Structure 1
Amino acid sequence: MTDVGPWLQRLAIFCTSAVIILAELALMRELALRFWDHLAWLAITIGLLGFGISGTVLVLVHTFLRVSRQTLQCFSLIGLGLSLPACVLLADTIDVNLIQMVWQPAMMWSVGVLEMILGIPFLFGGMFIGLALEDHPDRVGGHYAASFLGSGIGGIIAMPLMYLVSPRLLILLGGCTAFMVALLFVRRGIQTAGWIISIPILGLLLFITPHSPRISDEKDIVQIKAMANSKTMFSRYSPQGKIELAEAPAFHTAPGLALNYTQPIPQQTLILIDGQITDSIYTITSVDDFAFMDYTTMALPYAISHIERALIDHDAGAGQVGLAMRSGVKEITTVIANGALADLLAGEIPITGTFIYATGHVSLAPGTIRRELRKSSSPYPLIVLPTVGTDPAGLAATQPESRITLETLRLSFSHLARGGLLSISTAIHLPPRESLRLLNLLVEVLRESGLEPAAHLAMIRNWATVTIVAAESPLAAGQLAAIRAFCLKRGFDLVWLPDLKKDETNMFHLLESDGYYYGAKSLVGEDRNRFVDDYLYDLSIPDDNKPFFNHFSRWPKADEQLRQLGRYGQTYIELGSILLVAALGQALVLALLFIVLPIIPVIGLPGGPLQQVTVLGFFSSLGFGFMLLEMGLLQRLTVYLAHPVWASATVISAFMLFGGVGSSLSTMMHKWYAKMHVWIICTVMSVSVTLLLVIDTITSLSEGYGLTARIVVAYFIIAPLAMTMGMIFPIGLKRLGTAQPRLIPWAWSANGFASVLAALFAQVIAMRWGFNVVVWSAIGWYGLAALCSLNLPECRTIEG
């Protein structure tokens, strides 16, 4: 028995769990700053990997060392405190170039080393919690509840802290907190000596560790800072990214500007999110300075019709808004998903010249376009959706994109006024992919509305961008003539018009084979389904169940796809998918190694083969089921909450808080039989099925709410499921602890590794079949857990 009482033990578990979740969320932001925010899922995998390894480490320590549990807990916390600053310091020394990974496969080893280094703190944290769960069976439920509740609180406090300090400082703060919590376990000489000796080590690590993260050389901010006379004018951290405003007199950008435009572009202030340029704020004296925007494909809707009122969904900058004002739009609503950026644009920012967001024509709407449309009571003559296709390397392949789904486009089209226009643009890629998927989406929306797509669509391109306009009414002869004149004056190529002739296409930006025209002709015609099935890329329609707009690879036909692309095939490989598969392979190897290792004879894991298989099956099934449900809801609510960090913090904290309530309730139940355990698991399965049936209705009805209200709704969605799920694991440990307590670390390891694999498989399943299949898979694993539960080793009764 430990000398630390149960309530001090639970206080330590609470604080440690809060530190672990805080570090995990901060690591998401750290990876987004250094690389890209598409790697948020990697932080979850790293944390779970550390937890999985910790169980096997405990088995080995108990077998070969004679050290008290209290001493091990003390040194686990010291290790957590020291390793948090040490791991980010070491990670900065690992060179990883994600863009070059296709040409340098050995870079995968660097990614693996980076994962292992960043997983060390979670190994120590997992050891501490695993040791606590070896306590008397009657205390396990309370300990597990403390872990859940601490994780939930950590997820909640992480969000406001991310506005105040950098992710790196949050990680360092977590290290100091864990180190101080270790004092609760300092009772004897060796513990005191270890803690005192570690003080100067921690001080040195805090001193030498940079407080700002290393930024990859591929990030735009690195190139900007290298330019002469460049300077950063403003910098602010937020959960949705680090916002920077930078000036670089040598840098000029205009999205897809016509090659025959000869006038100067206004001086611009660059807006960077996590080191990547997202847009620009232009220094102007009047809206006429936005004349250059009239020479982009994005000006197409203003050539088709005179617009009085427009809704623009754009994350940053003033290009689209300036174009609308110059085109005579009197009332402009611009939606900005990044709340911190919206606050910045609505307030004082350090630029000179006319600031168009301060004019009476423009109103800022923080949130999502779906929220704005749900709130709106009047239709719009023009709705402009965000420009996509800016991820040529495929890093965003695994990232849900809530703004470009069938439901979003359907809702947008339904809010068009009579004769209204829906416009969307994409960067150009060869062979065409984003543009054809967008066209396929719009064709589906028009057909659902009972309209003939060919008569309602216009599509043009230049050297850099493609713009597609869907009209609420058939395009009239005068509008078609205006489109032709617009393109001829600017040197743009026609891709689709209702009366387009082949000899009118591919006139300015010549392609050997105009895949844009042939693709558009097929998609609006009778051969649409056959074309989609046979096309090189996956052009299937993304929806809220499978919102992976940037995922184009056909996984079962990857070899065939690369052969068709020829010697340039490597250029088109989706790096996000490659990273996911590599992480899955790494996790499988480590899981097999660390789960099999304890059962070799020299270690002498207790119990017969049947008991071991049952324990492995039960706790692994719980790990798979729990994490598949959590990841499935996380992915689905990323669409609802519009950002992965908000979704991660909300889902993780909700599962932990309400799971903690469930764990607490389990301590009040003093007699448990296998059949009663099965009933709780069956309840989880029933609630999951119910959630599948109602979640779309709940989210669609509440999309018009503000972010805080939507987070509250997400909590209510998760609460009943998480409370029931939170009861199962501690009851299983309680049963195991009365019969085979030495199997608890191994069960902890199996659960951890199953959670790692589930987190990765959830992404694969969602990309292939959708979130609903992820949830059904979780239900299946809980069914297996129910079967294994019937044969768990246990005493006949457990008295409280």
Structure 2
Amino acid sequence: MNDRSHFTVYSVIFFTSFIIISMEILLVRIFSIKEGQSYAPLIISLALLGNGISGVILGYIRNKIEKNLLEFFIAETFLFTLSIPLSFFLYLAVPLNTLEIIWDVKQIFLFLFHFIILVIPFTTGSLILATGFLFKLKSSNIYFFNMAGSASGAILPLILLHFLSPFWALTVIYFTFISIFFLCLLIWEKKRVFSFLLITVFLSLICYWLTEKLNLISYSPYKAISYALNLPEAKILLTKDTPYGKIELVTAKGLRKVNGLSLIFTGNIPQQKLLYIDGNHCGTFLSSKDKKELEYLKWQSCSFPFYFIENQPERKILLINPSGSESILRGIIFGISNITAIEENKYIASLIEREFSNNNSIKIINTEARKFFKTSIDKFDLIDVSLYDSYATSPILSLNENYLFTVESLYEMYNLLSSDGIISLTRWAIYPGIDAIKIFSSIIEMCERYGIPEYWKKILFIRSHNTVTLCLSKTNLPKENIISLTRKLGFDILYHYTLKKEMLNQYFEESEYLNFNTITNILSEKRIPYIKDFPFDIKPTTDNRPYYHNIFKIKTLKDILSRSLQFLPFNEWGSGILIILVTFTLLSGFILILLPSLFLVSKEKATGCIKLLKSFLYFFLIGNAYFFVEIPLIQKLILFLGRPIYSFSIVLFSMLLFSSIGSLISSKIKEKYQKILLSLLPLILLISLFTVNYLNKILLSASMLSKVLITLLLIAPQALLMGFP
């Protein structure tokens, strides 16, 4: 092979790796819009499964490929570039509802169809990469272009998503890089490659045109925005594609949504403009500023602590992630003139800022909440945490990290309170109500850990028909005001240190789990064994264990099975759907990879058998090594970098980029020195994990650019060594 041929192989490997990683990231975003759930673990499983299947295929036809290596390489490239638009179009054209997969047999077959067509591009792409190793080229160079392409593919989609929808980002990446693909291959064989290019472009254009024409990338009918758009005179006022999700502002005749409203409220509710991210309701904007029309804001459970500072304009309140104008207007109608709102989403922050541009007493700050807690020198009389953080871009929250409700974060909030300040947190009271219980458990742990005196006298827990509001004060909360207010507003007291049993359940029936007995047990001396024996996971969340929404335990499964399986997708156990899908993927891996591999090994002679087993074990261990290094780093760096998407992209980019450099330079380092360097790898990994915790304590307030550079420096040493083939 000459230098031009080397360039062609390396280029095809680079761009194949690029497209595979880009496709993974963009499919996660497309799934969020189309299915109502990102199913990120499923997408990663599909990519890994395709990788494994390609290895099995190569094992069976390797001899044939080696005889006609060039022809196979060109054919594989053609199949890969053609499989992407065809698979994508068929996935969109054939409807699937994963929420019905448990009881509708038809959905199982549709999922199987989707599964097969989506794994094909990952299989054909991985086959190109595997075939690249059959060329007589340095393996270190092939690893370099493979990992460098993957690293680039982890970053470009993030940039494009600031300007384009996931569909158009995928379209731009696809057509740009298939052009480069075929230009590289034209060096080898012009006539056949040019024919392949024409066929691919023609079929791809048809697929993408039909996708756009038939509006196949539409929201699931079960998403909140679908209901809103079915109302009379529905209109989308604003649309913005962002890496965090597609933001839309919708108005419609009769469009109203109010959480935790008292059932005895008899006034009118004005028409609202609702904000959606990926089709899920995440905030409310009100056109009216008339106090009479906004009276309903005083009758929600989250408004309860505002009564303690009503008509005291000198008081200062802090609103965490208000996601609209509703929380700010509540402060205004309660007579508070000094309002600070922290909004982490910069696009939503700009909308809120525009809404209150004429009011100088309202300060909108676009920053991470934890960063603000660390740097603020102000003291607040009320810190109100919005309910809207619980509207995620997917119904499965249990896999999402949340650093706002950890023990450490709650203590940082507590330190921002004035001498008689109050923290107010509103959560859902919908069955089983574990959301509220878990945050109560975290507050008790915080008070115990940091020595808050007589904290049980400073806690108030009230509920409406569908929300609960938990208050933690710096001082004891007065009994008389609380009783009169709950009677006036029609709310039940779940806990106050003076509460008597005859005062329970005045307006609502006691929940099976969210009740006075559960709360008093968590407050008692037997708290630890009680939490351990509780049917759900209600352990306090910490910065080292930030899975606030994860409530699943083996005991939970018994509770699910004792009810109807059809009940599964519509509450906090929605992660069961994901477990079923990933289990199916693992079973497919066993059938499509492990069994054929064992059959292939059994046909080999003893020496060949040992060689194959060593090869399987080698790549198995490499894959697991990257998995167990990347996942903890991604999880740990979410708090430091501020957003999961930043942590995921930067860690993946850094690991792949520096591993590719390590692979490239490894051929220039003598083997004995490589062994010495690799022996230091476990120590470097341990140091990096401890360093992340240290970074969160002292550098959380640093600029984003500084954080990215620090992250690159942190990951570089271990990734370089892991790149040694």
TM over 0.5: yes
Q: Which position in structure 2 is the counterpart of 1:551?
A: 550
Output the amino acid matched with 2:329. G
2: CA distance, partners of 1:168 / 1:2: 39
Task: Tell me the secondary structure at the aligned position of residue 658 of structure 1.
Answer: helix
Kept in 2, the 8 Å contact 1:19–1:177? The answer is: no
Kept in 1, the 8 Å contact 2:240–2:247? The answer is: yes
Tell me the alpha carbon deviations over residues 314-346 of structure 1, each in whole angstroms, 9 at most, x when there is no partner: 251111121122223222221222223223433
Report whether the alignment pairs 1:409 with 2:410: yes
TM superposition shift of 1:391? 7.6
Tell me whether 189-198 or 50-59 shows the greater mean CA deviation: 189-198
Tell me the alpha carbon deviations over residues 137-185 of structure 1, each in whole angstroms, 9 at most, x when there is no partner: 5x22122212222222222222221121111112222322342113312
Task: Tell me the secondary structure at the aligned position of residue 608 of structure 1.
Answer: helix
Q: Which position in structure 1 is the counterpart of 2:593?
A: 594
2: CA distance, partners of 1:331 / 1:633: 39
Output the amino acid matched with 1:281. F
Kept in 2, the 8 Å contact 1:365–1:372? The answer is: no
Unaligned runs of 5+ in 1: 348-354, 732-800
1: CA distance, partners of 2:63 / 2:241: 47
Q: Which position in structure 2 is the counterpart of 1:195?
A: 197
2: CA distance, partners of 1:612 / 1:467: 60
Q: Which position in structure 2 is the counterpart of 1:209?
A: 211
Kept in 2, the 8 Å contact 1:78–1:178? The answer is: no
Tell me whether 216-225 or 640-649 shows the greater mean CA deviation: 640-649
Unaligned runs of 5+ in 2: none
1: CA distance, partners of 2:602 / 2:182: 29
TM superposition shift of 1:569? 6.4
Report whether the alignment pairs 1:611 with 2:608: no
Tell me the alpha carbon deviations over residues 267-303 of structure 1, each in whole angstroms, 9 at most, x when there is no partner: 2111010011111100113456432111011012212
1: CA distance, partners of 2:394 / 2:148: 40
The count of aligned residue pairs is 713
Kept in 2, the 8 Å contact 1:281–1:319? The answer is: yes
TM superposition shift of 1:218? 0.9
Kept in 2, the 8 Å contact 1:297–1:460? The answer is: yes
1: CA distance, partners of 2:10 / 2:326: 54
Q: 1:214 to 1:64 in 2, by over 3 A?
A: farther
Report whether the alignment pairs 1:626 with 2:620: no
Q: Which position in structure 2 is the counterpart of 1:780?
A: none
Q: Which position in structure 1 is the counterpart of 2:151?
A: 152
Output the amino acid matched with 1:251. L
2: CA distance, partners of 1:41 / 1:333: 38
Kept in 1, the 8 Å contact 2:342–2:368? The answer is: yes
Output the amino acid matched with 2:383. I
Report whether the alignment pairs 1:335 with 2:339: no
Superposition map of 1:49-128 within 5 A: 49-64=49-64, 68-104=68-104, 107-128=107-128
Superposition map of 1:362-511 within 5 A: 362-387=362-387, 395-450=396-451, 451-475=453-477, 479-511=478-510
2: CA distance, partners of 1:302 / 1:512: 26
Q: Which position in structure 2 is the counterpart of 1:48?
A: 48
Kept in 2, the 8 Å contact 1:532–1:539? The answer is: yes
TM superposition shift of 1:501? 0.8
Kept in 1, the 8 Å contact 2:255–2:273? The answer is: no
2: CA distance, partners of 1:38 / 1:29: 6
Output the amino acid matched with 2:341. T
1: CA distance, partners of 2:393 / 2:485: 28
Report whether the alignment pairs 1:248 with 2:263: no
Q: Which position in structure 1 is the counterpart of 2:332?
A: 325
Q: 1:102 to 1:266 in 2, by over 3 A?
A: same
2: CA distance, partners of 1:659 / 1:65: 29
Output the amino acid matched with 2:367. G
Q: 1:514 to 1:241 in 2, by over 3 A?
A: closer
Output the amino acid matched with 2:128. F
Q: Which position in structure 2 is the counterpart of 1:165?
A: 164
Tell me the alpha carbon deviations over residues 227-276 of structure 1, each in whole angstroms, 9 at most, x when there is no partner: 11101111110100001011011221111111121221222111010011
TM superposition shift of 1:514? 8.0
Kept in 1, the 8 Å contact 2:666–2:674? The answer is: no
2: CA distance, partners of 1:443 / 1:620: 44
TM superposition shift of 1:394? 6.0
Tell me the alpha carbon deviations over residues 199-232 of structure 1, each in whole angstroms, 9 at most, x when there is no partner: 3223322322327623211111222211111011
Q: 1:568 to 1:610 in 2, by over 3 A?
A: closer
Output the amino acid matched with 1:416. L
TM superposition shift of 1:590? 1.4
2: CA distance, partners of 1:134 / 1:392: 43
Give TM-score scaled by structure 2 length. Answer: 0.91
2: CA distance, partners of 1:296 / 1:312: 16
Kept in 1, the 8 Å contact 2:250–2:275? The answer is: yes
Greater RCO structure (CA 8 Å; 6+ sep): 1
Tell me the alpha carbon deviations over residues 381-416 of structure 1, each in whole angstroms, 9 at most, x when there is no partner: 222223265589962122222322222212212222
Task: Tell me the secondary structure at the aligned position of residue 341 of structure 2.
Answer: strand
Q: Which position in structure 2 is the counterpart of 1:697?
A: 694
Task: Tell me the secondary structure at the aligned position of residue 433 of structure 2.
Answer: coil
Tell me whether 545-554 or 242-251 shows the greater mean CA deviation: 545-554
Task: Tell me the secondary structure at the aligned position of residue 228 of structure 1.
Answer: coil
Give TM-score scaled by structure 1 length. Answer: 0.83
Kept in 1, the 8 Å contact 2:247–2:275? The answer is: yes
Q: 1:193 to 1:603 in 2, by over 3 A?
A: farther
Q: Which position in structure 2 is the counterpart of 1:713?
A: 710
RMSD: 2.8
1: CA distance, partners of 2:579 / 2:549: 15
Kept in 1, the 8 Å contact 2:460–2:470? The answer is: yes
2: CA distance, partners of 1:688 / 1:395: 31
Tell me whether 37-46 or 518-527 shows the greater mean CA deviation: 37-46
Q: Which position in structure 2 is the counterpart of 1:777?
A: none
Output the amino acid matched with 2:643. H
Kept in 2, the 8 Å contact 1:342–1:366? The answer is: yes
1: CA distance, partners of 2:55 / 2:369: 46
Tell me the alpha carbon deviations over residues 453-506 of structure 1, each in whole angstroms, 9 at most, x when there is no partner: 31110010010110000112232xxx3322222211111001111111111110
